[in-house]
Chains A and B, each alone.
Chain A
Amino acid sequence: NAGVTQTPKFQVLKTGQSMTLQCAQDMNHNSMYWYRQDPGMGLRLIYYSASEGTTDKGEVPNGYNVSRLNKREFSLRLESAAPSQTSVYFCASSESEDRSSYEQYFGPGTRLTVT
């Protein structure tokens, strides 16, 4: 049981380049989330998916797109990277459909630097 996995662990991009961050969970969770974490700002929600086939914007969605490929996978795409997107990105999942469990399980993070 790997929990939540993210790839890559580290990435350096030049301004204007694009990339996709991958996330997968093996806990059969319904909800998945993408956060970014910056010093002094805490974790901020970028996008989330409450169930397979649905996605919604979080607090800071500009410059990002997401795809909920299936129940296991939720990817985050940067179409044209900017230095302001330098951050640590975390994917998380939770089983919230029946409201019985709200705790979120986080992946190890992707450290992205945009130069």
Chain B
Amino acid sequence: SQKIEQNSEALNIQEGKTATLTCNYTNYSPAYLQWYRQDPGRGPVFLLLIRENEKEKRKERLKVTFDTTLKQSLFHITASQPADSATYLCALGGYQKVTFGIGTKLQVIP
């Protein structure tokens, strides 16, 4: 069956450093992969989408890579700030719907 793995443990990093979150998947060939941010008590908010034929995507301080051979996506936040503290979800896209991972909680320490 399809499986998405994200670090279930929280990731703590110092302000100003680069945060790197990992999303691994098995038994899946997604057409695209998305990353969302979720703050406590709120719905997820879309951040970035990367398609299967793209290696890397950037948006301001965010960078996503997608390796379909390794079946892995890396999500980077450069120059991290305390305001970046949240849970980050990866989602694999197929026809008409997506499948979400459980998310990784990021804590940026001032």
Contact = CB atoms under 8 A, between A and B. Distances in A.
Interface string B90-107: 010100111111110000
Contact of B96 (A35, A59, A96, A107): A96
A35 B93 CA distance: 15
B16 interface: no
Interface in A4-41: 4, 31, 33, 35, 40-41
Interface residues of B, number: 22
B43 A107 contact: yes
Contacts of B98: 102, 104
Interface of A: 4, 31, 33, 35, 40-45, 48, 50, 56, 58-59, 90, 92, 96, 102-109
Given A43-B89, A103-B46, A106-B45, A33 B101 contact: no
B73 interface: no
B43 A106 contact: yes
A61 B100 CA distance: 16
A17 to B, nearest CB: 25
A90 B98 CA distance: 14
A99 to B, nearest CB: 9
Main secondary structure of the interface of B (DSSP, over half): strand
Contacts of A109: 41-43
A59 B2 CA distance: 11
B44 interface: yes
Nearest to A50: B96
A58 B97 contact: yes
Given A59-B99, A103-B49, A104-B98, 5 more contacts: A33-B97, A35-B100, A102-B34, A104-B34, A107-B43
Nearest to A31: B96
